[in-house]
């Protein structure tokens, strides 16, 4: 199955692709690579999920927020490339978790996006290298921000 078919089989919807709120590009193509800027958890009504892991959110809600960030990233890909099928594989993911100082399960939270990518592109191409780190704050108090590098066909 193609990445688009895999996505459709999940029964999920893509939120609107976000517009930059600063001086940056949401994505950049360099040769066969697609770089995505840091994305937050945009919901279907264009609002952001707001709150800190370990304060307003538990781990499960945090993981769902990371999945929503993954969906937002997919939306940016579709808006700028026309199709998920133009992406060959995930190369690198950097996940940042807005959390309380005592929270230590950052990788678990970022799995929300990584598991989504694995379902879209398969385990061989959907799982890349990754870092998952905790932050003292993130823009607008979003719980998760993720940036990524993809290889194009």
> pLDDT digits over 42-81, tens only?
999 999 999 999 999 999 999 999 999 999 999 999 999 9
Closest listed residue to residue 59, CA positions, set 99, 89, 29: 99
Relative to beta strand 129-135, strand 87-98 is parallel
* Phi-psi map region of 45: left, alpha, beta (phi>0 left; psi -120 to 50 alpha): alpha
In the chain, which stretches have pLDDT less than 50?
none
Residue 21, pLDDT score: 84
111-126: b (≥16 Cβ within 10 Å) or e: bbbbbbbbbbbeeebb
φ, ψ dihedrals at 18, nearest 5°: -70, 150
Q: What's the token pair of residue 87? A: 């992406």
Residue 94, pLDDT score: 98
Closest listed residue to residue 119, CA positions, set 6, 28, 29, 1: 6
Burial class (CB in 10 A: 0-12, 13-18, 19+), 153: exposed
Compute CA distances 38 → 5, 53, 145, whole Å: 26, 18, 6
Residue 143, pLDDT score: 98
Residue 132, pLDDT score: 98
Maximum Cα–Cα distance across the chain: 42
Residue 31, pLDDT score: 98
């Amino acid at each position: 199955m193609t990445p688009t078919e895999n996505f459709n089989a999940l029964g999920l919807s893509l939120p609107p692709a976000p517009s930059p709120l600063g001086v940056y590009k949401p994505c950049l193509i360099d040769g066969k690579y697609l770089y995505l800027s840091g994305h937050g958890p945009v919901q279907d009504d264009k609002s952001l999920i707001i709150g800190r892991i370990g304060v307003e959110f538990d781990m499960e809600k945090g993981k769902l927020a990371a999945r929503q960030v993954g969906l937002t990233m997919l939306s940016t890909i579709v808006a700028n490339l026309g199709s998920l099928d133009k992406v060959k594989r995930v190369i690198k993911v950097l996940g940042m978790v807005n959390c309380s100082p005592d929270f230590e399960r950052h990788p678990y939270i970022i799995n929300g996006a990584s598991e989504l990518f694995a379902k879209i592109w398969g385990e061989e191409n959907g799982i890349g290298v990754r870092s998952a780190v905790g932050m003292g704050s993130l823009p607008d108090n979003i719980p998760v921000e993720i940036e990524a590098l993809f290889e194009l066909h």
